[in-house]
Amino acid sequence: MVRKILSSILVHTIVIFLYTGCKRYTPTTQTPELIVVIVIDQLNYSHLEKIVPSLDGGLRLLFDKGLVFSNFFHDHAITNTAPGHASISTGFYPAQHGIIDNYFYDYKRGKTVTSTTSYSGYDTASNLLKPTIGDLLKSRCKKCKVVSISPKTRAAIMLGGRKADLVAWYSRKKGYFTTNKSYRYRKLLKEVKAEKFFTSIWHISHFKNDLRTIDSHYHPETGNDHTNSRFISLYPGREFYSQLYNTALLDRLTLEAIEKVFKNHNLGQDSYPDILLVSLSSLDTVGHKYGPFTPEWLATVEELDSIIARIIETVQKNVKSFLFLLTSDHGVAELPYNKNGFRRIAPNTIVCLRKAATQYSDLFVSELNVSKEASLEDIRSLKNDLEKCEDVEKVWTVLDLNDNSEFGTLFRNSYYKLRSPSFVIQFEKGTVPVIEIATTHGSFYEYDRHVPLVVWTTGKTAQKVTARYASVDIAPTIAAILGLKNSKFAGKPISEVIEWLH
């Protein structure tokens, strides 16, 4: 009798597992069939708020009809691509997920590596110390699909994590989207080729909308001539593939990859919830080269508006229930004009910093890292010398981990002992610490940390939310929506999103 009962339980357990395709997870009737996370690289909230009224595509739709958060921030100090994406996808700070910057010095390997550099020799998520939201879903539901696509390797991998079905990025050497053997869906990628744009023109001087009315800047410093085309190579080879990377056409190619994934892998079209993570990079590459509100930047925004509209259209055509979340990995400093509160770093500052560091050259193992043999007194002495330089607000070191100020908390959230630089230089507010490109990001300040969060699905009333939230709150919010119980995060579910959906 006992054997019959046990056999019956075993059979029913097998049937349930085969039916759900999931381990320890069963979606509810309220679970969206597809969650789409869109990260726009290098977009602060004030820029989006300013340009949205002049748009008529996907950005305008999300902003007008969605749940818009006006006080949403990255709460870490080094506001760059890799840590921003990793914080969004994991729900942890860089101090916990370990991705403290795009690059870091690896003491074990004795060299500076990228955030995606692995011991195996190809790009992976092996440096990411926490699971992404996609990893959590895949660990409980094998038939749930997770796809991450971005022109940038680090963006795609930090969003997708280890267990995604596909993580794809653009190869500037080969001119098509690529991946590695860690991921399952690989065959379609080489079909998405940059060569199709070789005879295209990146139009930047004619806008169908009234974007030109928005304080469009021109400054000789950026070297812009505002002609229609930025392509100079005479054949579709490596030079052209790299040039494409600095135009809005890059995200048009990304759109083609997204549409092929939909066609080939039926995202959101079965009873198992899927996640599509997309990072669009053109605004960052164009923003660095030309700066915000230049004609090139405005044309890129308009292209993004159109691309997001196409993504929304593709999802609506193929998926019954879906949810969009749009955010950014970091903001950006304005172009450095004296009149707008921003200025380029002084040449004397660069000389001063180099002179200070030269006095301790025997201690350094990389640009900002000293050897483990360096004493705290050595670190304190160099810190003091660096802080004497013009444009420097403060230099953060291991000596400052107990600083409980706002900036101290940001620094602590970014500090991971085995990877963090020995010195993090906080320049004065408004200082743009680059000379070879138009502008940049990476600072402690709000213009680099204040980013949008917009949530949208059909059938809901648009709302504005002024409560403050952070990027580490996105992953736990998605986990709550998917019903991924007992998942741990540094952030918390955003109650306004949960209430809005139900």
pLDDT, tens digit (0-9, with 9 covering 90-100), for 168-197: 999 888 888 888 877 766 565 677 888 888
Q: Is the pLDDT of residue 252 over 50?
A: yes
Give the residues across from 463 on adjacent strands: 67
288-to-222, 293, 344, 436 alpha-carbon distances in Å: 10, 12, 14, 10
Question: Above pLDDT 70, what percent of the chain?
Answer: 86
Question: How many Cα atoms within 13 Å fall on the side-chain side of residue 389?
Answer: 25
Q: Is the pLDDT of residue 305 over 50?
A: yes
- Our measurement of the distance from residue 362's CA atom to the centroid of its chain's CA atoms, rounded to an integer in Å, reads 36
Segment 56-79, tens digit of pLDDT: 999 999 999 999 999 999 999 999
Higher pLDDT: 306 or 210? It is: 306
123-to-117, 269, 332 alpha-carbon distances in Å: 5, 30, 27
pTM for the complete prediction? 0.91
Pair of tokens at residue 118 = 């692995």
Higher pLDDT: 272 or 227? It is: 272
C-alpha to C-alpha distance for 430 and 152, rounded to whole angstroms: 27
Dihedral sign computed on CA atoms, order 395, 398, 402, 404: positive
Q: What is the mean pLDDT of residues 96-106?
A: 97
Segment 436-454, tens digit of pLDDT: 899 999 999 999 999 999 9
Both ends of the chain: CA-CA distance in Å?
A: 46
Q: What is the mean pLDDT of residues 79-94?
A: 98
- The C-alpha angle with vertex 395 and arms to 393 and 399, in degrees rounded to 5, equals 135
Mean of the per-residue pLDDT values of the chain? 88
What is the pLDDT, as a whole number, of residue 55?
94
Return the number of other C-beta atoms located less than 10 Å from residue 384's C-beta: 11
Pair of tokens at residue 150 = 């971005």
Under the banding of pLDDT at 50, 70 and 90, the label for residue 373 is confident
Q: Do the beta carbons of residue 459 and residue 430 sit within 8 Å?
A: no
Please state which of the ranges 27-31, 319-323, 466-470 shows the lowest mean pLDDT: 27-31
Q: Do the beta carbons of residue 395 and residue 423 sit within 8 Å?
A: yes
What is the pLDDT, as a whole number, of residue 22?
55
C-alpha to C-alpha distance for 424 and 152, rounded to whole angstroms: 25
Dmax (CA) for the chain in angstroms is 88
What is the pLDDT, as a whole number, of residue 203?
66
The domain defined by 33-338+444-501 folds into Alkaline Phosphatase, subunit A (3.40.720)
Q: Is 457 helix (H, G, I), strand (E, B) or coil?
A: coil
C-alpha to C-alpha distance for 481 and 190, rounded to whole angstroms: 34
Q: Is the pLDDT of residue 6 over 60?
A: no
For the chain, the helix, strand and coil percentages under 3-state DSSP, each to the nearest 5 = 40, 15, 45
Domain ranges of the chain: 33-338+444-501, 346-390+392-407
